[in-house]
Amino acid sequence: MSDQQKTLPARYYTDPAVFQQELENLFCQMWVCVGRTEQASKHGDFFLCEIAGESIIVTRDGDALRGFYNVCRHRGTRVCREQEGKFAGPIRCPYHGWSYGLDGRLVGAPHMDEGFQREEYPLHSVQIDEWDGFIFLNLAHHSQSLAVQLADLPKKFAPWGLRDLRRYKRIAYDVKANWKLIVLNYNECLHCPLLHPALNRLTDYLSGNNDPPQPTYIGGSMELRDGAETMSLDGRRRREYLPDLNEAQRRQVFYYAIYPNLFLSLHPDYVMAHTLWPEGVDKTRVVCEWYFHSNEMAKPDFNADDAVEFWDTTNREDWGISELAQQGISSRAYVPGPYSPRERLPAAFDQWILKHERGADG
Ligand code: FES
Ligand code: FE
């Protein structure tokens, strides 16, 4: 990759047709992270999510996780309206009462005549899989497995024990910026001294190492400064280290963008995840969640607001600058500008976007 690579033309951030193509080629073709296992851990638990304008029901049927299009097989109505909850019995369409088992089979269809074959009308299912407590969906009919998409990440992140972490806090942000600007911003810290004075006191923005860009993710590490133990308001760590981290991992923070919509930020004592939910060419909902070890959360004096407040402030700084980027790029004066050698990850993400313009298989 040339050091002279330039940012993408404005249409990638402003043209609704490019945006639609990205939804189709990336969000409808790849495994997309939609939540955590604990959101659907017991039989009948469900939540809705929206990918590329499609409403999907995620539910637990016995041991199996299931994903269905939220579309009745009678006349197409959305069968589920609540964002989350528990199905006490079959999933019943509010229009004419067709009802479906948690495995998607049509189990009730009032007023149909005798020759009607219920088995021909199950809910349309969606591929679903899990990795260490994260739930992923894939809307494509034929796709590589989640394991292939995640490549070496499960092994790389094993020491953080993601499966044993539980959600402490969730904050959703509506950001008036294209989803790719949020990815670009997450993957460089050259902006940290100016934009994030609190963060910059805890980690040196020039420290750490990036992995070589991978086909399905980019990321790297930063070193905690002397005196800082984690990313929190004062740099103090109020929780035990995650149990399987080695000495080096206890002194670092790891930031990975897993395409297309998950950021994982791995700290010595907790993990933060962002999921991106593109809503328009210049509009993205970002959901940020903070996870802690279940043993720590069980302690009577457990409190992690220091980590949440630190990142909530930092998040808002990032969303604010991403909105300014969106506005500037939308100007008739904008032309692509040069990346520095220290912006290799954003440059690699742009390359990935160009490579996949015609579909997730390139
Ligand atoms: Fe669902 Fe008629 S549209 S029962
Ligand atoms: Fe930032």
Secondary structure of the chain in HEC code, one letter for each residue = CCCCCECCCCHHHHCHHHHHHHHHHHHCCCCEEEEEHHHHCCCCEEEEEEECCEEEEEEEECCEEEEEECCCCCCCCCCCCCCEEECCCCEECCCCCCEECCCCCEEECCCCCCCCCHHHCCCCEEEEEEECCEEEEECCCCCCCHHHHHCCHHHHCHHHCHHHEEEEEEEEEEECCCHHHHHHHHCCCCCHHHHCHHHHHHECCCCCCECCCCCCEEEEEEEECCCCCCCCCCCCCCCCCCCCCCCCHHHEEEEEEECCCEEEEECCCCEEEEEEEEEECCEEEEEEEEEEEHHHHCCCCCCCHHHHHHHHHHHHHHHHHHHHHHHHHCCCCCCCCECCHHHHHHHHHHHHHHHCCCCCCC
Which residue's CA is the closest to the ligand 1 atom numbered 2?
96
Averaged pLDDT, 255-280: 98
- Could you read off the pLDDT of 268-282 as tens digits, one per residue? 999 999 999 999 999
Instruction: Find the ligand nearest to 315 CA.
Output: 2
List pocket residues of ligand 1, CB cut-off 6 Å.
72, 74-75, 77, 93, 95-98
- Could you read off the pLDDT of 273-330 as tens digits, one per residue? 999 999 999 999 999 999 999 999 999 999 999 999 999 999 999 999 999 999 999 9
For residue 192, what pLDDT is reported? 95
Ligand 1 atom nearest to CA at 98 = 4
- Identify which of 72, 81, 107 to mutate to test ligand 1's pocket (most ligand atoms within 8 A of the CB): 72
- Identify which of 71, 98, 124 to mutate to test ligand 1's pocket (most ligand atoms within 8 A of the CB): 98
Please state, for a pLDDT cut of 70, what percent of the chain lies above it: 98
Q: pTM of the full predicted structure?
A: 0.96
For residue 359, what pLDDT is reported? 66
Averaged pLDDT, 57-65: 97
Instruction: Find the ligand nearest to 80 CA.
Output: 1
Instruction: Find the ligand nearest to 100 CA.
Output: 1
- Could you read off the pLDDT of 238-247 as tens digits, one per residue? 999 999 999 9
pLDDT at 152 exceeding the cut of 80: yes
Band of pLDDT at residue 362, cut at 50, 70 and 90: very low
For residue 4, what pLDDT is reported? 85
Which residue's CA is the closest to the ligand 1 atom numbered 3?
75
- The CA 75 to ligand 1 mean position distance, Å, reads 5
Which residue's CA is the closest to the ligand 1 atom numbered 4?
96
Band of pLDDT at residue 9, cut at 50, 70 and 90: very high
Averaged pLDDT, 332-356: 96
For residue 1, what pLDDT is reported? 46
pLDDT at 87 exceeding the cut of 80: yes
For residue 208, what pLDDT is reported? 83
Band of pLDDT at residue 3, cut at 50, 70 and 90: low
